[in-house]
Structure 1
Amino acid sequence: MTESIRDAARPFSGGALTALLSPAIRLLGLGEPTHGVEAFPELRNELFRHLAEHEGYRSITIESDCLAALVADAYVNDGTGTLDDVMSRGFSHGFGASSANRELLSWMRAYNEPRAPHERLHFYGFDGPLETAGPAGPRPALTALHDYLAGHVDLPWSREALDELLGPDERWTDPAALMDPTQSIGRSPEAKELRLIAGDLRVLLTAHTPHLIAATSADDWWRADLHARTAAGLLRYHAGMADTSPTRIGDLISLRAAIMADNLDAILRREARRGPALAFAHNAHLQRDMSHMRFAGQPRQWWSAGAIISTHLGDQYAFAATTFGARGSDIPPPDTLEGLLSALPHPRAVLDPVRLADTLHQKPARRVPADHTYFSLDPDTIGRTDAIVFVQEI
């Protein structure tokens, strides 16, 4: 079996991975099995350089705050701000501390500098402003949308009226609301009215699209639509935070996936004439199969952003899952998928899932990692990935 597995593998390179994919791909999802390990974003950087230089890709989006990413995109496109400031304000979830993310923005800026605007690479986040401690308040997104529309459309709501309904930001960001729904204001009368207003503002944005784009620009309109999606998504998420039903946590996880999928869809529509996009996130956010985890002592399952977007794109979506072998004393047992792949001679390998599945005469056991932040690959899902990237040791 080991020899057959070797036949299914190639040393990792961007070309080796894309050789497994259809040329019709519009979105390539590259997953990582855990956060905070530089080996995976470094591998992502190498892949994206290949995609940009040889495959016509013009954008990358990562599992980070979609609004914060506007700061990073302004830097890589126009040199706005300093790199230190952008690393501080342009990422969420602590990803600004990653040296690989810093290297990515530096390379994108250098790539873009001599090129015309339509040839430049774009950087996006496709997560909502949803930190681990809880969601951000809706004020920045809602007021940005209001201000954009107010310059061109008569609105029945003033900024003062919005500010009164929003109240102090601390009411929205109380970390106690994460586990105690009674501490959330997401279903207060003010929050319910704000949800209606956010919906109405988005309808106005759509209804006046031709006028607004002519008066501003397509890019300005796209950013306004980003603020509209984010305001609506945050208000809906806060309403979920205030839910006292037993399904609360699972519903919030699914809502986050829906927000991610909406953002991916909007990115693809914006980039449709320029080229495909690379998405980088945890495997659980990009896989086609139902995702599973334990949270607050209970099993949770949901359809990920990748599963949702793949139903829209069909064979124009591809998913490459990443996994690894040894991590210090955590060495995979030989009967697991990761244990079998550890016999490969390559430090980093790309595997054809179809050929790999054909070599497995019996289903490998699923690895039980020592680190709860690592999600091992489910052997049952091999056939529904387009490529597997294996890193021998991290």
Structure 2
Amino acid sequence: MSSLADLPIRDDLRGLKPYGAPELKVRVALNVNENTHPIPEDVARSIIESVALELRTVNRYPDREFLKLRDSLAAYLNAALVEESAAAGLPVAELTRDNIWAANGSNEILQQILQAFGGPGRSVLGFPPTYSMHPIIAAGTGTEWIPGVRDENFEISPQTAVDWVQRTNPDLVFFCAPNNPTGTPLSLETIAAAYDATDKIVVVDEAYAEFGPSGEPTALSLLEGRPRLIVSRTMSKAFAFAGARLGYLAADPAISDALRLVRLPYHLSALTQAAATAALAHAPEMLAMVDDIKGQRDRMARRLAELGYSPYESTSNFILFGGVPDPHRMFEQLLEREIIIRDLGIPNHLRVSAGTESETTAFLEAMDEITPR
């Protein structure tokens, strides 16, 4: 039997490891930042009805431009923009379907962006520790990954961002806001400063945007007048749609024109389009669980601090906490209790997703048992 080492793969892929979050069946899974709340029953029925209707014509190719879905996504983002703009006293810049693109998860969105604007001989600047798929997707597209250095407490100041952009002159800049795996918020000033410091593409990965403070402006508010800015979002987290695989972006219409050059034909199935459009029609019900998740996140942060750990500020659906003497040992101790969280390889740190109230209780009770007194 041959091995990977025997195959004639690209030289720049040799020695790399694929994305590898553990997939274990345990009673409490808090390791991959899923929304652990199930989709409401009435919403699930509506989605099933939409998918069933679409199945009648599934012998035909889907709408290649997924117009109905793009209209729904634009309407959803516009509702958020109205709230953000009112809170900040900013003018509203309405989005249309022309500003929207979608794909099979935000990972495919990022891949298409790098296929269009990255590639061999080009580079992307990121700031680790950050979303582990950013350098993996860069490698897969032959784009050089440039690791910038964060400030204290995993933050990125405008000056730090500008210094790294000017020092490395990348073809793309990737930000994660809030950052994964640290949960650290990113200021709009940092994004704007990085954008002004380059004439290339700036991407803000806002997978966890809905878990931030209500009404606080996001990178969406910066799109007007910035044709090289891309804001990536997902339905996996706040919409509890991880298994459906629907990511999307908001940007200048020319960005979508660029991605059409690299996307595969009919890349979004008719069933995916139907399911996502139906879910968006029930956005208030789908997002009702977000406040509960934020509450459980904050509850974990308080209790972890009481136990002597150092949780970082988080505007996501997870907590990174330091002060762990032996992360691997603690990971195993929790796993023995059928609770899985994430050991990211950051010395003396672990990450835990906010679950339901009962899941959060199980985690905190286990932490109380295993924390040395």
TM-score class, shorter: 0.3 to 0.5
TM-score, normalised relative to structure 2: 0.33
TM-score, normalised relative to structure 1: 0.31
Q: Name whichever structure is richer in helix by fraction.
A: 1
Which of the pair has more CA radius of gyration? 1
Pick 1 or 2: higher relative contact order, CA cutoff 8 A, min separation 6.
1
